[in-house]
Amino acid sequence: MKDLNNAMLIKKSYQLNNVLMGIALLLGTGVSQAAINLDRTRIIFNSADTSASIVLQNKSETSPYLAQAWLENTAGQKVDSPLSVLPPIQRIDTGQKSLVRIISLPDVEQLATDRETLFYFNVREIPPKSEITDAVQIAIQSKIKLFYRPAAIKADYKNVWQEKLQFSQQREMLKIHNPTPYYVTLGHLNQDNHGNFPGFDSVMIAPFNTESIKTPGYNGDHYSIGYMDDFGQMIIRHVNCSIGHCQIQAVEKK
């Protein structure tokens, strides 16, 4: 009986290890292996528009996929008002494209009129059922930001609001204030154009808010920052500081 129990434990352990290894391999492939791809990295929904369209494409060469789409608020809660996604689920055949529409509902008028409101647009791909018994399948999910922009703050691309950020330096800390009604995302921060400070990935600064970012091991007078524009491009700028007061200067566009 003892030998039988040991054999059963070995078999269960072997099966569990196989499952865990399969999950690790699938997760290790990253988001780049997603079958359903979006045509953009962010959505700007202007209040003057009644809808916004996003193109989804099935990059799989072998299988159709279901694409499930929905919106979330900043608390991570699924919402279907004041913006709604149509259709919430659809089939996309191999190599084909399809549209998802985000429409505004009457209660959109309850959103703030003096600043942007942030939502998240989600797409989860659902693969066809595998013919392999006990196969591990993972539904990859993509999430991008949706900025609802009221008419009162219609974008003026000649007046770049991201460059109105206000910087101040406090030892190994950079304080960044956003005096604008727009969300501003920084995807790059370092003392030069290469890489990022340790521990820095990205930061999104809400309208009229301030964020403090650690700059480990550095309290110099020069910084390189990169902000994301409406089209998903990273714009590089230099920030020069003197006695804690900093100014932003144009450098290049990437």
The closest of 150, 147, 199, 201 to 172, measured between CA atoms, is 199
Closest CA to 153 of 176, 121, 179: 179
Helices (H), the chain: 2-28
Shared domain check, 149 and 48: yes
- Which residue reads 């279907």 in tokens? 80
Distances (CA, A) of 53 to 60, 101, 153, 244: 22, 5, 21, 45
Given a contact cutoff of 8 angstroms between Cβ atoms, the answer to whether 54 and 99 are in contact is yes
Average pLDDT over residues 216-230: 95
Q: For residue 242, how far is the Cα from the chain centroid?
A: 34
Query: What is the percent of the chain where pLDDT is above 90?
Result: 75
Side-chain half-sphere exposure of 135, counting CA atoms within 13 A: 11
Task: Specify whether the CB–CB gap between 146 and 135 falls below 8 A.
Answer: no
Tens of pLDDT, residues 49-75: 999 999 999 999 999 999 999 999 999
3-state secondary structure of 104: strand
Residue 184 belongs to a domain? yes
Its pTM surpasses 0.85: no
Among 107, 133, 153, give the residue marking a domain's end: 153
Domain shared by 47 and 149, yes or no: yes
CB 117 within 8 A of CB 148: yes
Mark whether 147 and 187 lie in a shared domain: no
Are residues 195 and 131 part of one domain?
no
Residue pair 192/213 in contact (Cβ under 8 Å)? The answer is no
Q: In which domain, by residue range, is 137 found?
A: 40-153
Identify the DSSP state of 128: P
Cβ of 118: how many Cβ atoms within 10 Å?
Answer: 16
Mean pLDDT of 18-23: 44
Token code pair at residue 254: 């990437």
Which pLDDT tens digit goes with each residue over 2-14?
444 444 443 444 3
Residue 18 counted as domain residue: no
